[in-house]
Amino acid sequence: MFPPFFSYEAEGDNFSIQGFGPILDVSKTHTAVRPLYYRENEEDVTYFLYPLGKSTPDHSYFIPFMRSVEDRSHPHFDLFPYFSGTYDGKDYQGIFPLYGHMYHRYGFDEASFYLWPLYSRTEKSDATTYSFLWPVFSYSRDSLFRVFPLYGIESSSDSQSMFFLWPIFHHTRSSSGSMLAALPLFRYEQGPSHWNASFLWPFFTYNRDDATHHQSADFPWPIIRTATGGYEETRIFPLYWEKDEGPSYRIRSVLWPLWTTRSSKTDQSGEMEKVTSVLILNRLVVTTDTHGKTSQRLTLWPLGHFLSEEEKIAWFFPAFIPFFSDDGFNQTWGEFLTLAQGFSDEKHSQINILWKSFFWDKDINMSRWSLLFLASQKTTPEYSQWGFLGNLLNFKILRDHESPGIVP
């Protein structure tokens, strides 16, 4: 044991190898050569130079060059500039921007291109669109004609939209209403039960929806805003902001970014989360699940980060980059930035300072500590053991009351 340069521990099937501070870290559950590589064996997740690369059984990527998706109905692989895939038994591939053909990618049913942006063809919902020098010239029979940014018109069975000298003049008509705009001078939209108007868009805006009895106004955006009906909102930025959408979402801010509190409810799981932040980086997150169990996460930037869940408490010092909710960051860069950490629950407690330069560990059957390679001590119900100079010198004191003794 010569921490933080090298340490090795083994007990039964479990083992731990650590070297060069946080760089080398190998155990039964994970393997790391930080920050280049980290693999979580149980979850079968691997990170490469996080956040650039990640690999799981379902997908892999290394930004911006590679992406692979293992989908039974649509597996595909990209290694820029090459891409390939299979959809519904049909193979496709291409080399961007020279040539390519694909199915169900980027929101299209089918697409192909030659010397992009010189020429491309896309299909979506039985409509075929041809583009030349995209996005300048685009055409689809009976539905689209565009010479960007001079003029464009797009039609469907129940709507039509048009622009002229984009982004200045716009006009849209549909079964749900119409919109006319000459930006940034004005914008006006009207429907069966709603209408809104903007002057010097988006700074001065008024919205009204009679179906939900909702009204809102910005004067000017984003400084002053009021809303009533569908949700309640009052904002005088940065002095005060309050928005209430019922149990699903509430937020209140005073002297932003001095103090903000936000509560939200997840529709699918029913989980409630309340976040209170002071100067953005200092925050307390309280999460309550459907069974009433509560967990807390507290970040006091840059001093530390603290976790509390049922009987378990964990802490990390310091907290220079507050990304502790990101598992990939914690497993790679987090170890470099954490100089001391610890946790405790009903059965186990641990403190680790400077990558085991000082290490203390205790459970119901054992307690131990070590200081660099200079000294270590371990106590169990059966014995106490002392070690010096990386355990080159050590002795054990037996706790057998019938025959106590010292074992070198």
Return the pLDDT at 238. 94
What whole-number distance in Å separates Cα of residue 118 and Cα of residue 136? 10
For residue 327, name the pLDDT band (cuts at 50, 70, 90): confident
Mean pLDDT rounded to a whole number for the chain: 92
Residue 1: its pLDDT value, please?
Answer: 65
The values of phi and psi at residue 222, to 5°, are: -100, 25
Mean pLDDT of 279-299: 92
- 317 Cα distance to chain centroid: 22
* CA gap 249, 159 in Å, rounded: 33
Residue 311 has pLDDT above 80, yes or no: yes
Question: Which of the four pLDDT bands, split at 50, 70 and 90, describes residue 259?
Answer: very high
pLDDT of residue 55: 95
Per-residue pLDDT at 286 exceeds 70: yes
Query: Chain-centre distance of CA 376, in angstroms?
Result: 41
Give the model confidence (pLDDT) of 70-118 as tens digits: 998 999 999 999 999 999 999 999 999 999 999 999 999 999 999 999 9
Helix (H) or strand (E) holding 205: strand 204-209
Residue 329 has pLDDT above 60, yes or no: yes
Q: Is residue 305's pLDDT more than 80? A: yes
More confident residue, 393 or 284: 284
Q: What is the structure's pLDDT at 399?
A: 74
Indicate the pTM of the whole model.
Answer: 0.79
| pLDDT at residue 373 greater than cutoff 70 | yes
What average pLDDT does this structure show over 353-361? 93
Q: What is residue 408's predicted lDDT score, i.e. its pLDDT?
A: 56
| Residue 320: predicted pLDDT | 85
- Can you tell me the mean pLDDT for 34-52? 93
pLDDT at 275 over 70: yes
pLDDT at position 351 over 60: yes
> Can you give the pLDDT at residue 126?
84
DSSP state of 267: T
Gyration radius of the chain's alpha carbons: 31
Cα–Cα distance measured from residue 158 to residue 315, given in angstroms and rounded to the nearest whole number: 58
Percentage of the chain beyond pLDDT 90 is 74
Nearby residues of 89 by Cβ (< 8 Å), 6 or more positions away: none
pLDDT for 406 equals: 55
Q: Which two tokens stand for residue 306?
A: 């603290």
- Residue 331 corresponds to which tokens in the numbers above? 């497993």
pLDDT tens digit string along 173-219? Answer: 998 899 999 999 999 999 999 999 999 999 999 999 998 899 999 99
- Of the listed ranges 38-42, 248-252, 391-395, the least confidently predicted one is 391-395
Using 50, 70 and 90 to split pLDDT, how confident is the model at 153? very high
Look at residues 115, 114, 121 and name the one whose alpha carbon lies nearest to residue 144.
121
So what's the pLDDT on residue 175?
Answer: 87
3-state secondary structure of 336: helix
